Chain A
Amino acid sequence: MKLSRRDFTKIGSKIVIGAATGPVIIDALVKKAQASESSPDGDYDWNKHYWGYVVDTTKCIGCGRCANACKRENEVPFDEPVYRTWIERYRKLKDGEMKIDSPNAGIDGFTDDIPEEEINKAFYVPKICNHCENAPCVQVCPVGATYTTNDGVILVDFEYCIGCRYCIQACPYGARYFNLEKGTADKCTWCYHRITKGLLPACVQACPVGARKFGDLKDPESIVNKILDKERINVLKPDLGTKPKVYYLGLDREVR
């Protein structure tokens, strides 16, 4: 094939223009994506949603994929004992004793360290920040660095948190931890960067048995509302008046 001079300049100029504008356009696209990730504007209207979470403890098999996915998705330090979600194992022994554990939050699964014949019953309970309607952590933050979004998610402003750790003390559920790198409190965001894009939180996405469910409480058709409308549900430590938005199915009285 022979290229005419005219074709050659045409193609050449296209390449030059493409090379020059390409990065600019890509850059702009990336920036826009980042912007929509860090703030809920764009197409997402946080007044139109109010998020809720359901844990079906009867379904959990303790595989730990949720806790693993969470650490990877949210860059939670992998080798430190800090977690945004974890799985507890409850084993009621035949002698009446209740054995509770959560080795490395269940990320590596659980080992059978008690012979089966000694166990009366056993079950798993996934735990996560309850994003309480009446959140004690938000109440006690002395500078307002932790706050409730309009769509009902409790977040931490890492640029503002002074690192006094009062919120960690005030959370009855042990859902918060101290981020050594940032010098601030840190916690589950229900993967706010995902849910504002119409995606599910990583833990919900990763659960192979559907023990974790996430949805919009303002949407009557959401999976969460369908369960709340039909099932008998409970929350953790209801007597503390925190009004959690993580609802449990099959919650045993021993679970706190």
Chain B
Amino acid sequence: MESLVWGYVYPNEAEIQWSILIVLYPYITGLVAGAFIASSLYHVFGNKEIKPVARFALLTALAFLCVAMLPLLAHLGNPLRGIEIMFTPHLTSAMSGFGYIFSFYFIVVVLEVWLAFRVDIVKTALNSRGWKELLYSALALFSYDISEKALEADEKLGKKLAIIGIPSAAFLHGYVGFIFGGIKANPWWSTPLMPIIFLMSAIVSGIALLILLYLIVIKIKKYPLNYNTLYSLAHYLWIFLIVDVVLELLEIISMKYEALEEIEIIEHLLAEKIAFTFYGIQLTMGALIPFILLLLVGVMKNRDKLKVVMVTISSVFIVIGVFAMRWNVVIGGQEISKSLAGTLTYEPVFFGQEGVLLAIIILILPLIILRVITYILPPWKDMIEENEEAVVSSE
């Protein structure tokens, strides 16, 4: 125990309070927000190149949203009282709005998914028998109107929802950043940049995840790869990555430049505790290399095979790099003592309520959920549709 501590830490700080599960929570909500915003690139901003993956992105967001609450609940000392956050929210707390923001966003995403798939649901309901007919009729809410007029209304409503959805996604995740950024006791967390850094890295990780899932689907289903879609996603990835990294660097640079009281301990944190995960994984692997690769993808002509490899590598690196970023914030912030005179070390355990095993399960779970959702609401035809004008009338 003693060797894990350097310098002086307050006696009560012997134990790290927020474990790997709390690293997972902003990571997962980030993936949700990112995937949602990627789908909005088509649904709101009308970017047709994104269309083949737009509905898939929505389902991805929904699948990850389903588990977003789990790491938090598993972490609570009294999980059964967790619901009190809904009944008696203490409004001065940055955390108290969580239940409402989360629920609101959940409803928006579910509605959006429903609208995006309504035609498919109705058609399946009308063309099937037995339990399947019942399931899809229920999903269609026993309303089978898919006349042109109805569809137009759907589309309008869908667009409105997506417009609400973007700020909600931004709010959901920027808000997670504020939970950390608003803690004046912790100099590594306390910065007004935190929400926007969280948001940007969320978008980056969500797009990267979407690219990877898209490539996996293409591989499994043996669909032709839509290069325009891939490059367009890569392009957005690159832009958001730049904004993200600029903000992350800005934070570090101003901390070092202003060199306030806490700078010594922060220098120690960066040099001794999280040097590898910060400089190595978060900045080099998660930002610098993808930045160069994606830049090359943007300027290179032809050589599609190589470019796909570069986009894939970038996406893998970014997904890992953003996880490292969450780690460096959540764990790094707790590895410095609030005495500003010492550091401590987080040692993850494998089993148990806050173990790595549970974290892995929670990370795999959304992929299983996604498999189930895509079984019920297959978005695949979007990926093979050649005619980009036809939204629903191709069948």
User: Which positions in A face B, CB cutoff 8 Å?
Assistant: 81-83, 86, 88, 98, 100-102, 104-105, 127, 136, 138-144, 160-166, 168-179, 182-185, 240-241, 256
Q: Which residues of B contact A177 (CB under 8 A)?
A: 12
Known contacts A81-B11, A139-B93, A164-B76: A100-B341 contact under CB 8 Å: yes
Q: For residue A122, give the distance in angstroms from its CB to the closest CB of chain B.
A: 14
Q: Which residues of B contact A143 (CB under 8 A)?
A: 81, 84-85, 88-90, 96
Residue of B nearest to A164 (CB): B76
Residue of A nearest to B184 (CB): A240
Q: Is the beta-carbon distance between A101 and B8 smaller than 8 angstroms?
A: yes
List 10 interface pairs A-B (beta carbons < 8 Å), by A numbering.
Answer: A143-B81, A143-B88, A161-B77, A162-B84, A162-B85, A164-B75, A174-B9, A174-B339, A178-B77, A240-B185
Known contacts A162-B84, A169-B183, A169-B186: A141-B76 contact under CB 8 Å: no
B92 within 8 A of A: yes
Q: Which of B13, B77, B92, B340 has the most CB of A within 10 A?
A: B77
Q: Is the beta-carbon distance between A83 and B17 smaller than 8 angstroms?
A: no
Beta-carbon contacts under 8 Å, B15-63 to A: 15, 17-18
Q: Is the beta-carbon distance between B89 and A184 smaller than 8 angstroms?
A: no
Q: Which residues of B contact A256 (CB under 8 A)?
A: 338-341
A242 CA to B84 CA, complexed, in Å:
27
Q: For residue A164, give the distance in angstroms from its CB to the closest CB of chain B.
A: 6
Q: Is the beta-carbon distance between B341 and A163 smaller than 8 angstroms?
A: no
Residue of A nearest to B87 (CB): A143
Residue of A nearest to B98 (CB): A142
Q: For residue A158, give the distance in angstroms from its CB to the closest CB of chain B.
A: 9
A143 CA to B340 CA, complexed, in Å:
29
Q: Is the beta-carbon distance between B89 and A83 smaller than 8 angstroms?
A: no
Q: Which residues of A contact B341 (CB under 8 A)?
A: 98, 100, 256
B95 within 8 A of A: yes
B78 within 8 A of A: yes
Q: Is the beta-carbon distance between A171 and B185 smaller than 8 angstroms?
A: yes
Q: Is the beta-carbon distance between B17 and A168 smaller than 8 angstroms?
A: yes
Q: Is the beta-carbon distance between A173 and B338 smaller than 8 angstroms?
A: yes
Q: Is the beta-carbon distance between B15 and A178 smaller than 8 angstroms?
A: yes
A230 CA to B185 CA, complexed, in Å:
31
A173 CA to B337 CA, complexed, in Å:
10
